[in-house]
Chains A and B, each alone.
Chain A
């Protein structure tokens, strides 16, 4: 049985077009807040970037190395808690604290990895869930250390001084740029991993762990490396999340639904590709926001508050956004298991085949 993802071909070479598009997209997004100032729009931008970071981070271990962790909330939560606790209890600025958070998450990843990577398939999935549940329950119970269910609320983020400029984290703007920056760094790192020797090792393990082993690749070691990289970026996302939403408790950062979201972003977009998580985030974030809060569209000025569309959603779906979410997941898994990106590629291939004037035969091996 062929269990390989459809889009598992190794990335080759360097696309100038891709680079140009990437830089253009960053420039456009960086210029965006100069034109659009509505806090709600910037807020959604941050949520989107955060989802991209989450997806990219999971992609390293789940997409490239093929280890389907459903326990990434552990790293996300550690990132959030370490950053938050350093700020609240020790007055450490978050841009300093986040490094400690990343270090803690990498350390944790080595522990978790050494435990769970002995297991394969469903056992690995269940183990990754259990470890995260243990951490969540412990965080709830040991109140003296973690404040338990009460959680942490940010009292004040200090002013960031870079040279003469002072950045105050009052509005959405600084968060928007920070999230954009972090997303760009994560994407570049992901690209670098994918195109390095490391990336090939990961893929070799994903395709056939035993064969990789016989080629002299130590699966346990490289899986740990992949998890550590993934954990580092996940922790950064967690630390950022804590500062942005300003409140964390064990259930919101260590919950199973958080772990599932990591996987979902990648699956919906397309697993094991750079573009996949980006697309997944672009589908998932606006969709769940529109369903949860159709008034957001009114604020964006896209529709008027008395439009039939908003009224329809409010009347029928505002209590049912999780239902629609569920239906979306089922539909994607059944009809587009290779994600939106896969569907696009399939369509593109079909289109190209129909236009032979290009004189280029697309190899069937796209799939």
Chain B
């Protein structure tokens, strides 16, 4: 098989003057099918775009995609195959918290550098794994940014939590509860729900009866819209709705003007953050016909960094790990630097911008250095 590939490679290197180096094999684990696939698609697009851009820069990446179907055990066997079968130089992914955490253990065991693009679970980079890097901000940042923003904008005293009982939902909510207590907020409701239930009205009514100042919600895609629709129905009216990323950070949610208006959300990335980011967003929109989510941007940035580093290191895993640890990059995600701090290992410290949906458009409102508009606070009530 190598014999068959050799002429093809030679032809490629003739065609592309820059591609003097050999190909680097990079693995990409993602939820291509399964319940998380709709978000996973953004990561795939981001990575594909990165591979194309890398090629233009003369970095020839052979991307080996593996579907984890959103299940940790599948992601682990995918990782094993990438590490021992395909013998990739490095791995980008997987997407979800549970799968990324499961793969991290193996990455460290097999000494394959792994860059986690968009999984929030705190523990992933808190276990002292030298070979595991994370580009996105961990779970506590979601809660911290949102609650910080609310405390700056008003004087909330009580907070209610409603979140789906998945790994992501519980870890963001747990971090949120911790931080709320630190801030002296009283937790008046703590409701985990099974995702996919058609009716949250009774839960929301119960929360309404506590009249909390802040309502903090964590959910994946569609439940976010459902929760807000039913909040409107039952007339839940806190000072602010805080949406903990994910489902509250999608174009679909944004477009539901009736219910998304004035909801706060937190995100890993916005196109507004820099000209480079805006340029990426425009190209992405042109290519895929939809706006990029932060997942796409995180995946793009992760892949770009890994591709460049892997080629410089000649595909050597240990050298890649060292280069990732030592290096610093600037791109669509702003500056990326994998550091050890506050118990984290190889964690990129990212300021998460807080956005507010204003008339069907998300605008960055916090922190001040990133803010484009003033936030509307408190929530004036439903129309």
Q: Report if A and B associate in a common complex.
A: yes
How many A residues touch the partner, as a band? Answer: 20 to 34
User: Mask for A132-145, Cβ within 8 A of B = 1, else 0?
Assistant: 00000100110100
**Chain A positions within 8 Å of B85 at CB level:** 38-40, 299
**Chain B positions within 8 Å of A245 at CB level:** 72-73, 76-77
**Chain A positions within 8 Å of B64 at CB level:** 295
**Chain A positions within 8 Å of B201 at CB level:** none
Find out whether the CB atom of A247 lies under 8 angstroms from the CB atom of B1. Answer: no
Interfacial residues of chain A within 128-185, with CB under 8 A of chain B in the complex: 137, 140-141, 143, 148-151, 153, 170
* A252–B102 CA distance with the chains assembled, in angstroms: 14
Find out whether the CB atom of A299 lies under 8 angstroms from the CB atom of B170. Answer: no
Given contacts A39-B80, A143-B170, contact A151 B72 (CB under 8 A): yes
Find out whether the CB atom of B67 lies under 8 angstroms from the CB atom of A151. Answer: no
Determine whether A92 belongs to the interface, using a CB cutoff of 8 Å to chain B.
no
Given contacts A305-B1, A318-B67, contact A252 B105 (CB under 8 A): no
User: Mask for A284-319, Cβ within 8 A of B = 1, else 0?
Assistant: 000000001101100100001110000000000011
Determine whether A345 belongs to the interface, using a CB cutoff of 8 Å to chain B.
no
Determine whether A246 belongs to the interface, using a CB cutoff of 8 Å to chain B.
yes
Given contacts A137-B194, A246-B76, contact A151 B81 (CB under 8 A): no
Determine whether A338 belongs to the interface, using a CB cutoff of 8 Å to chain B.
no
* A295–B119 CA distance with the chains assembled, in angstroms: 26
Find out whether the CB atom of B72 lies under 8 angstroms from the CB atom of A249. Answer: yes
Determine whether B242 belongs to the interface, using a CB cutoff of 8 Å to chain A.
no
Give chain A's interface secondary structure class.
helix
User: Mask for B135-174, Cβ within 8 A of A = 1, else 0?
Assistant: 0000000000000000000000000000001110111000
From A137, A252, A319, B33 is in contact (CB under 8 Å) with A319
Count, chain B residues at interface, CB 8 A: 30
Determine whether B207 belongs to the interface, using a CB cutoff of 8 Å to chain A.
no
From B4, B33, B169, B192, A306 is in contact (CB under 8 Å) with B4
* A245–B64 CA distance with the chains assembled, in angstroms: 22
User: Mask for B270-301, Cβ within 8 A of A = 1, else 0?
Assistant: 00000000000000000000000000000000
**Chain A positions within 8 Å of B80 at CB level:** 39-40, 43
Given contacts A40-B84, A149-B170, contact A252 B32 (CB under 8 A): no
**Chain A positions within 8 Å of B60 at CB level:** none
Find out whether the CB atom of A153 lies under 8 angstroms from the CB atom of B102. Answer: yes
* A319–B40 CA distance with the chains assembled, in angstroms: 13
B105 to A, closest residue via Cβ = A153
B64 to A, closest residue via Cβ = A295
Find out whether the CB atom of B71 lies under 8 angstroms from the CB atom of A153. Answer: no
B74 to A, closest residue via Cβ = A292
**27 A-B pairs (CB sep. < 8 Å):** A39-B80, A39-B85, A137-B194, A140-B165, A148-B192, A149-B98, A149-B167, A150-B98, A150-B167, A151-B72, A151-B167, A153-B101, A153-B102, A245-B77, A246-B76, A247-B98, A249-B72, A249-B167, A293-B81, A295-B64, A295-B81, A295-B86, A296-B81, A299-B81, A304-B1, A304-B4, A319-B32
Q: What residues make up the interface of B, taking CB atoms closer than 8 Å to A?
A: 1, 4, 32-33, 64, 66-67, 71-73, 76-77, 80-81, 84-86, 98, 101-102, 105, 109, 165-167, 169-171, 192, 194
